[in-house]
Structure 1
C-alpha cells in the first residue's frame, strides 16, 4: 500500500509546493503551520527547511505536523540557498514561499491559485500583507522600486484604506509569494551571494527585465510578524545585509543608461537616511556594508552580464515600472499599475 501511495504521488504531483524556511523561528512556526494546515485549497505539499537552526525546537515543531516534509540542513544556507533548495525539492507547478512568521488566511492559497487561473500569462504573484496583531495596519502590498534604487514594501505600516487593487507591482515580497517553479529555476532562483534580504527584489528585477510581470492579489492575505528570525528590522544583521544587498541589486540589474543616475541618487539617499537621529548609531555598520557592497561589485557585474543577456524589456518599460515620485518613497506609498498586455 505504501508503495502504491508513492507511485500515486509521483504520477500526480501537487499543484503547489509551499516552502517554509525556519531558523530560530520558535512558536511563530507552529502558528504558521497551523494556519497553513487550515487552507481551503488542499492540492499542495508543504516543505519545512530547518536551516541548521541552533534552536532545536524548529524541527520538533515541524514534526508535529505529519503532512509536512521536514528537511534538516547541516549548515545555514540563508534564505536564498534554502529557497533554491525548496524549488529543487518541490514537485508542484507553482512554488510558494511563506515566512515562518506569516499567518495565512484560510483562503490565501485558493486566492493565489484563482488569480493564476484568471491570468494564465502571469507567472509571479504576491500577497496582501497585514501586520500581525495590528488590525487595519498594512505590512505590504508588493515591493516598489524607487528611482533612487531604494526598494520598499508598498504601504508598509500605513493604514489599510482599501487602496489595494489587483495589478502589477515591481516585485513580489518573499514573505508570501507564488511563482512558476520552472521559471524560478530557469532564472537561476535567488542569488545565493545575498544570503538574506533583498533577494526577492533582485528576483523581481530579473522578472521585470525578462518581461515577466508580478501581480498583486489583494484578497490573498497573510498576517506578518516581521523579522522574527533575524532579530528585528534594525538588528545589525538586517541593517548590514539590507544595505549591502541593495547596492548589489542595482549593480546586477539596472539598465546601463540608468546606472549613472540611480547610483548617485542611492548614495545620497543613504546619507540622508542615516543622518537621522534614530539611525546614527548604525553609521559605522553602514560604512562597512557599503565597503562590502563595492568589494563584491566585480562579482555582481559578472552576474550582470548573464542577467542582461536574458533581458527582453526595454529601458522605457523598466523606467515605468519604477516610481520617480519622491513622495512615494518617503510615505512608503503602494505603487500598483494595471496589468500590461503581454506579448
Structure 2
C-alpha cells in the first residue's frame, strides 16, 4: 500500500499544511496500524499527521506509530483522556482545518479529499462530519452525525440501521468525534473539548456549543470511514463507557441547554433515563449508573460555572436551538438520522 513519504517536498505547497489530522491512541493495538495505513493512502496529500499516545500501558501503540515516520508521534506521560489529547493536538497542529480520526476508524481513500471539497462548496461552514459505517458489518451504519432529542438524550443518527444510501448532504446537530473536521481556530476559540468530560459525550458538547454560537455542522455523506467503535475502552457496555457516558449526558444538558428550555428538557430527560435504565440489558449496570448520576450532580457546580461562559457566546435564538433538536420520540427510539437542509446563506 502506498504511504506518504517523510521526505515528500510536495506535501505542503504553501509551507503550511492545509489540514492537521490527529489520531489519539490508547491501547489501540492493530486497529491503529490499519488506521494509519488508510490515512497514508489518502488521495488528498496536503496534511500533517499527529499521533498522540495517551500513556498507553501497552507499548505496542508506540511501536506501531513508529512504523509511519511521516506521522509525528507525541508520547504523553499521563492519560489526558480523548478530551485532553484532542485539545493537545489542536494546539500542536499547524493546519487551518483540524481533523480528528479515531484509531479504530478506517478512512476510504478519498475521505479527506471529499471533506475539503465540501468546505470549498460551503465557505461559511466550519464544522463537518462523515458517514460512518460499522467496520465488521457491511452495509450497516455506525452514524450519520449526532442527533440531540428534546429529552436531552443525544444519539448517533442511524446507528446500527441499514445504510439505504438515502443520506443527503445537510445539517446535523453535532459532529461525531470519530471522524470530523473543524476550523482549528474556531475549535480553539470555543475552548476545544471540555476536559472534565475525559471521554464520551465531548463531541456532542462541542456540537451543542457550535449550535449556540450559530455555527452549523454539515454531514458529508460521501466522506466515508469504517468504524470499529470503543476499541480502546473495552466496548460500548464496558464499565468505563457506561459510567462516563451516563455522567456526561447530564453535563451536556446542564452546561448548554438555554434556560427557557430547561423546564421542558430536564423532566423529559429524567423520565427517559428511568425508562432506559430499567430495561433488562441495563439492569446489571444499575449500581454503576447510579454512581454516574451521583458524580454528575457532585460535579454540577463546576459545570454551571462553565455554563456562564458558554451562554455568553450564544448567538442562536431559543427557536433555532429547539429547531435543531428532534421532537419526534420515534427518532430517538429508532436512532433515526436527522438531517436538515443547509440554511440559506451557508
Question: TM-score if structure 2 supplies the norm length?
Answer: 0.96
What is aligned with 2:309?
A: 306
What is aligned with 2:144?
A: 141
Deviations 1:192-241 (A, max 9, x none): 00000000000000000000000000000000000000000010000000
Map of 1:28-43 to 2, 5 A cutoff?
28-43=31-46
Deviations 1:237-275 (A, max 9, x none): 000000000000000100101111111111111111111
What is aligned with 1:91?
A: 94
CA deviation after TM superposition for structure 1 residue 314, in Å: 0.3
What is aligned with 1:65?
A: 68
Q: Do the aligned partners of 2:50 and 2:89 also contact (CA within 8 Å) in 1?
A: yes
Task: Give me the whole-angstrom Cα distance separating, in 2, the residues matched to 1:76 and 1:99.
Answer: 16
Deviations 1:141-189 (A, max 9, x none): 0000001111000000000011210000000000000000000000000
User: Given the alignment, which residue of 324, 332, 337 partners 2:327?
Assistant: 324
User: Given the alignment, which residue of 126, 131, 137 partners 1:128?
Assistant: 131
What is aligned with 2:59?
A: 56
Task: Give me the whole-angstrom Cα distance separating, in 1, the residues matched to 2:291 and 2:281.
Answer: 18
Task: Give me the whole-angstrom Cα distance separating, in 2, the residues matched to 1:249 and 1:65.
Answer: 37
Task: Give me the whole-angstrom Cα distance separating, in 1, the residues matched to 2:17 and 2:221.
Answer: 24
User: Given the alignment, which residue of 85, 109, 124 partners 1:82?
Assistant: 85
What is the SS of the residue equivalent to 1:272? Answer: helix
What is aligned with 1:168?
A: 171
CA deviation after TM superposition for structure 1 residue 341, in Å: 2.1
What is aligned with 2:243?
A: 240
Unaligned runs of 5+ in 1: none
What is the SS of the residue equivalent to 1:85? Answer: helix
What is aligned with 2:3?
A: none
Name the CA shift for 1:310/1:88 in 2 (closer, same or farther; >3 Å).
same
Q: Do the aligned partners of 2:55 and 2:78 also contact (CA within 8 Å) in 1?
A: yes
Q: Do the aligned partners of 2:12 and 2:18 also contact (CA within 8 Å) in 1?
A: no
State whether structure 2 residue 203 is matched by structure 1 residue 200: yes
Map of 1:18-37 to 2, 5 A cutoff?
18-37=21-40
Name the CA shift for 1:289/1:83 in 2 (closer, same or farther; >3 Å).
same
RMSD between aligned alpha carbons? 1.5
Unaligned runs of 5+ in 2: 1-6
What is aligned with 1:271?
A: 274
What is the SS of the residue equivalent to 2:49? Answer: strand
What is the SS of the residue equivalent to 2:260? Answer: coil
Name the CA shift for 1:255/1:342 in 2 (closer, same or farther; >3 Å).
farther
State whether structure 2 residue 223 is matched by structure 1 residue 217: no
Question: TM-score if structure 1 supplies the norm length?
Answer: 0.97
What is aligned with 2:4?
A: none
Q: Do the aligned partners of 2:12 and 2:47 also contact (CA within 8 Å) in 1?
A: no
Name the CA shift for 1:287/1:5 in 2 (closer, same or farther; >3 Å).
same
Deviations 1:1-55 (A, max 9, x none): xxx999x979611000000000000000000000000000000000000000001
Task: Give me the whole-angstrom Cα distance separating, in 2, the residues matched to 1:342 and 1:287.
Answer: 45
| Structure 1 moving runs of 4+ over 3 Å | 8-11
User: Given the alignment, which residue of 140, 158, 163 partners 2:161?
Assistant: 158
What is the SS of the residue equivalent to 1:192? Answer: coil
Task: Give me the whole-angstrom Cα distance separating, in 2, the residues matched to 1:5 and 1:63.
Answer: 18
CA deviation after TM superposition for structure 1 residue 66, in Å: 1.1
